[in-house]
Amino acid sequence: MTGGHLLPVTGAVLAGGASRRMGQNKAFLELHGKPLILHVLERLAEVCVERIIVANDVSQYAGLGVPVVTDRFPGVGVLAGLHAGLQAASHDLMLAVGCDMPFLNPDLLRALIGWAEGYDVVALRQGEQVETLHAVYRRTCLGPMENAIRAGERRIISFFPRVRVRYVSPEDILPLDPELRSFRNINTPEEWEAVRQELASRPPTRILG
């Protein structure tokens, strides 16, 4: 387990996706006898004092031991999920991750939180691609998020011009995560099988990161 005290940050797992390409709910794919989302929550527990799940169906996640919140703006997508998580968070900063990220790295999560000082959003940018579901958001984003949603925007980055964004580069990440594995997620059965084979030889307590 990664050392260090817990940070006054809310860790939010977004689990509202339809998982159409996977054919089943990605959050409950089984890895070493536990659902994938539980592994994700355990990693957040190494970093954040509070954890929540953002999902459309509360009942599915009720047995995981953390609060589950739903979108205030249903049908909008991930932007509404981030808004719901930030609105429910007890802390000024929220670390948002997907439920299908098998390689979360607590050291990198702590670094992202540290980089948030003086900013409203911290996210990795590679070219035109911004990693919005492995990122940090401050409570000050709530108003701009809601304004974007009410204006009909669905892109997560639609509110970014109205807040202070710190984009980190792959070069910033590489000392902590040389292969950028933390940002991998699972969308298809083929990707899931590749991850299962990759992790098969690892001890269950250290399958992630």
What's the total number of domains in the chain?
Answer: 1
Domain membership of residue 207 (yes or no) is no
pLDDT of residue 20: 59
Check residue 26 and give its pLDDT: 87
Does residue 186 contact residue 23 with C-beta atoms inside 8 Å? no
More confident residue, 89 or 197: 89
For the stretch 115-140, pLDDT in tens is: 999 999 999 999 999 999 999 999 99
The Cα 180–Cα 138 span in angstroms is: 24
Would you say 134 and 182 are in contact if contact means Cβ atoms under 8 Å apart? yes
In a domain, 208, yes or no: no
The answer to whether residue 140 sits within a structural domain is yes
User: CATH code at 119?
Assistant: 3.90.550.10
**Residue 209 pLDDT exceeds 60:** no
Residue 147 to residue 115: CA distance in whole angstroms: 26
**Residue 200: is it exposed, middle or buried by C-beta count within 10 angstroms (0-12/13-18/19+)?**
exposed
Residue 209 lies in a domain: no
State the residue range of the domain holding 13: 7-202
Evaluate whether residue 156 is within a structural domain. Answer: yes
| Mean pLDDT on 49-63 | 93
